[in-house]
Amino acid sequence: MLFAATSVSQIPKADWDRLANPPGAEFNPMVSHDFFRCLEESGCAVGKSGWAGRHLVLKDDGGAIRGLVPCYLKTHSYGEYVFDHAWADAYMRAGGDYYPKLQASIPFSPVTGRRFLAADDTTKGELADGLVALCAEQQASSVHVTFMPEDEWSLLGGKRWLQRTDIQFHWHNSGYESFDDFLATLSSQKRKNIRKERASMLPAGITLHQITGADITEAHWDAFFDFYMDTGSRKWGRPYLNRLFFSLIGDTLREHILLVMAERGGRMIAGALNFIGSHALYGRNWGAIEHHNNLHFETCYYQAIDFAIRRKLARVEAGAQGGHKLARGYLPQMTYSLHYLAHPGLSRAVAQYLEAERQGVDDESEILAAHSPFRQDPDT
């Protein structure tokens, strides 16, 4: 039996987490029940913000939950990081209604994670079919499953589901014991540049603090929210997250949070929010109320690398876009999404576009990889 839950609270936490982060699998706090609940209870991901819950749940004949897909009925395309604005414009110019649409993702988060929460491929296929049925039931134009693992993308992609790729930048831990060990693997010029950027914090009187767990206080969240609002308002016009959200994750997910805070003259001036998984550090939000050269690089990238090395995490996922990350040791990583478009004509047009786009993404990935900052010759 399939049904769409309109609230995270309608799905038992134990069932959600059992499927989202099964024992022995890589743990990602951002696919947990707690994370989605915080988004909903804070009012960030609700109907009024254009994110109406339509979480698809599959039960067996005995009523036990076999699988689910966190999903939203959306009236816009903001907060997704996989852009379909051109598709929406084209469809609406042709007289169609692109909204509402269904979006299976972590709201406001370009973080790869399980989207079809199920123990086996058969159940995942049933959930994919269920999303198509839900699309018709909700009179939506389309379904978009974004930032999904490659294995799910390969399993479910095909004639009905259109496949899309893009590029992020991730840092990979090669068993480093220290930040200097990492620097030693870079080319001489890149190594010098990073040392120079890090050293520029000292004359400015800036100190960095890595804060986790119970050490994170409401005062830290007050300061971080100011940074987030200031930077977000300038970049996006309207930031997606509110102050309550940060208090909620501070209560329920504090052991999985790293706050990097920059301080100058006894005043906090910048910060970066990261989530700590079993294998990865997920960089999420950043903000600052003072501008200093290289402050962004230090707060978001170098501090994340330093923390990952000390925690022996396998990688740092630094979020969407940003070719500037390449020079700082973050390498190109493919991301994956699936798209179902109910209108046959729109689906055919987008399929042709995506075929060319995937080739372009492949070409770009090869070019970026050729400019790796890592040493090719051990003597350089």
Evaluate if residue 70 carries a pLDDT over 60. yes
What's the whole-number mean pLDDT along residues 102-125? 97
Evaluate if residue 95 carries a pLDDT over 90. yes
Evaluate if residue 234 carries a pLDDT over 80. no
Topology agreement, domain 2-167+333-369 and domain 174-313: yes
> What is the pLDDT at residue 5?
98
> What is the pLDDT at residue 376?
80
Q: Residue 236: exposed, middle, or buried by beta-carbon count in 10 A (0-12, 13-18, 19+)?
A: exposed
Q: What is the 3-state secondary structure (H, E, C) of 232-251?
A: HHHHCCCCCCCHHHHHHHHH
> What is the pLDDT at residue 320?
80
> What is the pLDDT at residue 237?
60
Evaluate if residue 378 carries a pLDDT over 60. no
What's the whole-number mean pLDDT along residues 106-135? 97
> What is the pLDDT at residue 231?
80
pLDDT tens profile 296-328:
999 999 999 999 999 999 999 998 878 899 999
* Fold category of 2-167+333-369 in CATH: Aminopeptidase (3.40.630)
Q: Where are the domains of the chain?
A: 2-167+333-369, 174-313
What's the whole-number mean pLDDT along residues 333-361? 97
> What is the pLDDT at residue 321?
75
Evaluate if residue 91 carries a pLDDT over 80. yes
> What is the pLDDT at residue 379?
52
On average, the pLDDT of the chain sits at 95
Q: What is the pTM of this model?
A: 0.95
Evaluate if residue 254 carries a pLDDT over 60. yes
To the nearest whole percent, how much of the chain has pLDDT over 90?
93
d(CA 380, CA 360): 32
Evaluate if residue 121 carries a pLDDT over 70. yes
Place of tokens 């962004």: 296
> What is the pLDDT at residue 75?
97
To the nearest whole percent, how much of the chain has pLDDT over 70?
97
Q: Would you call the peptide bond into 100 cis, given omega within 30 degrees of 0 as the criterion?
A: yes
CB pairs under 8 A, 24+ apart, for 308-313? 308/171, 308/173, 308/281, 309/173, 309/176, 309/177, 309/178, 309/179, 309/181, 309/182, 311/276, 311/281, 312/173, 313/173, 313/276, 313/277, 313/279, 313/280, 313/281
Q: Residue 38: exposed, middle, or buried by beta-carbon count in 10 A (0-12, 13-18, 19+)?
A: buried
What phi, psi does 64 have (nearest 5°)?
Answer: -80, 145
What's the whole-number mean pLDDT along residues 121-141? 98
| Token duo for residue 204 | 């400015």
Note the CATH number of domain 174-313.
3.40.630.30
Residue of 251, 65, 53, 24 lying closest to 138 (CA atoms): 53
